[in-house]
Amino acid sequence: MRRFAVIGLGRFGAHLAARLYELGHEVLAVDADPAVVQSVHGKVSTAAIVDARDKQQLRALGLKDFDTVIISVGDHLEASTLAALYCKEMELQVVARAVNEDHGRILDALGVDEVVFPEHDMAIRLAERLSSGNLLDYIPLGEDYSIMELAVPDSFAHKTLAELNVRARFNVHVLAIQDVLTGKVLMAPAADQVLEDTNVLVVLGQRKDLDRFQKIAR
């Protein structure tokens, strides 16, 4: 079990806090609005009414005892920026939600460990999935790399990974293969693994290489 503090309980923060709690972690949920804090009672371990702009209130939460602090104050840029500043002064592991690129650059400059753009990232995933009939999911990793889930096309079925020579031809790596009928997942498949038309490939690569692989694999 890990310990998480979520500062800011808008839709993103509230859903994140509740899901982390459902996954068995200890979650402290924090917001300045008493009604919002009341709404998450029973969905997290602890909830507190705290103004993220107040350094003393943040320090009183005992955040040093938590593995990660997630700042999801959202549109309140002052609160988001100050919370990030104070948390990094306390040498905490911080993940922060940015609402735009300028906000993201500010958070980067403050030393935030990970900056996320939920709306931007979800838009990319949806666009990629809708553009291809056999693309099941698309997850950006930083600026250059992504992971995608791709249904095995007919042209790949009943062939081994060695025959397809995926790594050499497309410069992508097959991390795992899942069979949709059995639910079985094979991690780091061997070169002699035969692909079936009921398989899903989990592939890692640079976006340009994944795009090329996806087009050929349609």
Examine the domain organization and report whether 137 and 103 are in the same domain.
no
Question: Which pTM does this prediction carry?
Answer: 0.63
Are 80 and 73 a contacting pair, CB within 8 Å? yes
Say if strands 68-71 and 3-7 run parallel, antiparallel, or are unpaired.
parallel
**3-state DSSP call for residue 205?**
strand
Which of 94, 116, 138 corresponds to the end of one domain?
116
pLDDT, one tens digit per residue, over 111-131 is 999 888 876 665 555 455 545
Domain around 196: 121-216
Which of 62, 92, 116 corresponds to the end of one domain?
116
Examine the domain organization and report whether 136 and 111 are in the same domain.
no
Are 189 and 174 a contacting pair, CB within 8 Å? yes
Instruction: Concatenate the DSSP letters of all residues of 38-54 into one string.
Output: HHTBTTBSEEEE--TT-
Examine the domain organization and report whether 27 and 95 are in the same domain.
yes
Which of 116, 150, 182 corresponds to the end of one domain?
116
Q: What is the CATH number of the domain that holds 132?
A: 3.30.70.1450
pLDDT of residue 138: 63
Examine the domain organization and report whether 143 and 97 are in the same domain.
no
Examine the domain organization and report whether 138 and 211 are in the same domain.
yes
Q: What is the CATH number of the domain that holds 87?
A: 3.40.50.720
> How many domains does the structure of the chain reveal?
2
Weakly modelled stretches of the chain, pLDDT under 70: 74, 119-138, 140, 142-143, 217-218
Examine the domain organization and report whether 180 and 143 are in the same domain.
yes
pLDDT of residue 135: 52
| Residue 14: exposure state from Cβ atoms within 10 A (0-12, 13-18, ≥19) | buried
Examine the domain organization and report whether 187 and 150 are in the same domain.
yes
CB environment 56-79: b (16+ within 10 A), e (fewer): ebbeebebeebebbbbbbbebeeb
